[in-house]
Structure 1
Amino acid sequence: MNMDRWNANRETAPDSYGEAEQWFVRLLEPDCPAEERAAFERWRNADPAHAAAYRELELVWRQSLDATKHPAVAAAARQSLRPEPQTRSPRRWLFPALATGFAALVAVVVVPRWLAHSSEPVSATYTTTAGQQQTVQLSDGSSIVLDTDTQVSVRYSASTRRVDLLHGQAQFSVHGNHAWPFVVHALHGTVTAVGTQFQVRVNDGCTDVALIQGKLAIATEPQNGTPHDASLVGGQGLAYDESGRISRVHAIDPQDVQAWTEGKLFVHDWRLSDLIDEMNRYSTTKLQIGDPSLRDIRISGVFHTNDQQTFLALLQQGWSIQAKRVDANQIVLTHNR
């Protein structure tokens, strides 16, 4: 869409297009509250003309991302950010000033305040320690639940919402925006989402992806190896390794994969060694198998990740296992003979 068409539409439906401009700017601000986003959804759903105007504005955004590097655009953005008289509304400054600055360009460009001030993306890092979980509310209405011993780096730019999962496990609930993809980078691969809920876990050189609802695109970017790609729909999962290989898509149980967000593990016929590895992630006191014959004991049940004492009591009562503390941070498991 060029500027002439946008202006023509704005003249025929000034209310819808003018309001769409204002909503677009508000939603790009990093401090836009959840209640304002809810008000936007009510506005968009109240009238098909509202939804049509906003769709066209998103198209303008997509078509104009490359134009933001043009000197005229930068000059217009700087002009638009100058203080205005108090009698003017603070929400009306953006589009008139930008349109004046690059009338010769094909596209109209929207430059929010937080991007116009710097060429660098807005970024933040969030970290949890052993046994800690944290929910992070992001500026676009998305959220991340960090599991124990997890670190993510969030970098939002004009073209993409990027999250790097450096280690650990996280659940992502993504606010949909087709013009602004949400991309999780984990090891040598990416997971791209629009309006979905999913989990990504980095573990011993392997990345596990579980999709609770929506759709996902996965692409591997190995340093040595062949890139691959795959897609998921709700209720599916896969894994990829550092060489770029992607596993076969498999079914997941959304209740099982979300159990850790409630401090639980749903265990179905796990080896004891695998269960202990998982429980150890949530505690600074580590459990160690001292008798190799215990490793392949099969266990099922529901365990609380933050309750190591009850977990040990169940092992001792149900499987004749003895737990002996050998120092402040280590407990050794042996057969109770």
Structure 2
Amino acid sequence: MGMDRENTNQGVHAGSQDEAAHWFARLLDADCPPEERAAFERWRHADPKHAVAYRELEILWKRSAEAVKDPAILAAANRALRREPETHAPRRWLFPALAAGLAILVAAVALPRWLSTSSDPVGTAYMTTAGQQRTQQLADGSSVLLDTDSEVVVRYSSRTRRVDLLRGRAQFSVQGNHAWPFVVHAGSGTVTAVGTQFQVRLDDGATDVALLKGKLAIATQSANSSEQSASLIGGQGLSFDQSGNITPVRAIDMQQAQAWTQGKLFVHDWRLPQLLSEMNRYSYTKVEIADPSLQNIHISGVFRTGDQQTLLQMLQQGWSIRAKRVGDKQIVLSR
């Protein structure tokens, strides 16, 4: 589904950003309990505007890293963080203080950049649910193919074509224009293309990039502001983690890389947990291993990403595995 954010600009930049600032400040507290972190995740996934607002705040926070090196800014932040009421007050007073300190640090470096791009469109979100794939044509003739349970936000301005990958995986087919770069923001880095076709995936804190044709430039930045960069040509790929560390460039299996775009999964000597993890992405019903002895089963073959039933039949016939449904959304495997 798509959502035009231009008509909800006020809502995104007021209510959603205020809520995002509250959650960001709360999660900075080392004593934040698991139930509050779970409540945050529910809030973030309840509305695409929430995810966008929180993602923007994360980006601003990273950009503010240099600000804490300024003694004046650091002192102001410390005063905000340590401000206490004259009488003993409930712990909830800590949250506005944290938010105030956060605002000081962010504003010092990031706010001028934010204001300088205030004329840019807020963005349009496109997303898929579990088991769904969709192709979205963009205004410049480029297109994005979203895999299952994925989301992007597209922001085109006169300076750049920006796409934020918030979750999942996407394949981008980009119309070339050297004067108008196409930049995908994902994880701790950016992927810049001119005219090319490539895939980007967010998975367990890592960002995987696979280039099908053309050229790409990748850049990352760590929390201490150190930068890394790399470039790819067709048939190559790499990964980078949340700290901005880039792996060596590697050759990719083109058939395997393109398989998901055709609803297929090419598997060569995969362990069963890896196969189940990938197949589970395409279904609301999750298959889990109850017997540890099944962990080291190795499997090869071609599977339909949305055909969970055929996978279960194959496992039961080939390895004497029993599949038992234990709820509406859970199936467990045992000997």
Q: TM-score range by the shorter chain?
A: 0.5 to 0.7
**Alpha-carbon distance, 1:306 to partner:** 0.8
User: Match of 2:176?
Assistant: 176
User: Match of 2:286?
Assistant: 286
SS of 2:299's equivalent in the other structure is: strand
Unaligned runs of 5+ in 1: 1-117
What does residue range 201-216 of structure 1 map to in structure 2 within 5 Å? Answer: 201-216=201-216
Question: Residues 129-158 of structure 1: CA distance to partner in whole angstroms, max 9, x if unpaired?
Answer: 000101000010100000000000000000
CA distance in 1, matches of 2:131, 2:180: 33
Unaligned runs of 5+ in 2: 1-117
The reply to whether residue 192 of structure 1 matches residue 210 of structure 2 is no
CA distance in 2, matches of 1:241, 1:292: 29
The reply to whether residue 230 of structure 1 matches residue 227 of structure 2 is no
Match for 1:120: what amino acid?
D
**Alpha-carbon distance, 1:122 to partner:** 6.1
Identity of aligned residues (%): 69
Residue pair 1:210, 1:257 contacting (<8 A) in 2 also: yes
Question: Residues 252-311 of structure 1: CA distance to partner in whole angstroms, max 9, x if unpaired?
Answer: 122211111111100111110011000000000000000111112111100001111011
The reply to whether residue 258 of structure 1 matches residue 258 of structure 2 is yes
Match for 1:137: what amino acid?
Q
**Alpha-carbon distance, 1:236 to partner:** 0.4
Residue pair 1:224, 1:243 contacting (<8 A) in 2 also: no
The reply to whether residue 310 of structure 1 matches residue 318 of structure 2 is no
Residue pair 2:169, 2:201 contacting (<8 A) in 1 also: yes
**Alpha-carbon distance, 1:227 to partner:** 1.7
What does residue range 13-28 of structure 1 map to in structure 2 within 5 Å? Answer: none
Question: Residues 45-82 of structure 1: CA distance to partner in whole angstroms, max 9, x if unpaired?
Answer: xxxxxxxxxxxxxxxxxxxxxxxxxxxxxxxxxxxxxx
CA distance in 2, matches of 1:165, 1:143: 14
CA distance in 2, matches of 1:296, 1:199: 30
SS of 1:313's equivalent in the other structure is: helix
**Alpha-carbon distance, 1:120 to partner:** 2.5
User: Match of 2:275?
Assistant: 275
CA distance in 2, matches of 1:137, 1:273: 35
TM-score (norm: length of structure 2): 0.64
Match for 1:234: what amino acid?
G
Residue pair 2:197, 2:212 contacting (<8 A) in 1 also: yes
User: Match of 1:167?
Assistant: 167
CA distance in 2, matches of 1:225, 1:205: 19
CA distance in 1, matches of 2:279, 2:210: 20
Change in CA separation of 1:285 and 1:217 when aligned onto 2, cut-off 3 Å: same
RMSD (Å), alpha carbons:
1.1
**Alpha-carbon distance, 1:226 to partner:** 2.9
**Greater Rg over alpha carbons, structure:** 1
The reply to whether residue 218 of structure 1 matches residue 215 of structure 2 is no
**Alpha-carbon distance, 1:225 to partner:** 6.1
CA distance in 2, matches of 1:250, 1:129: 31
Change in CA separation of 1:153 and 1:310 when aligned onto 2, cut-off 3 Å: same
Residue pair 1:188, 1:223 contacting (<8 A) in 2 also: no
Residue pair 2:120, 2:155 contacting (<8 A) in 1 also: no
What does residue range 1-337 of structure 1 map to in structure 2 within 5 Å? Answer: 119-121=119-121, 123-224=123-224, 226-335=226-335
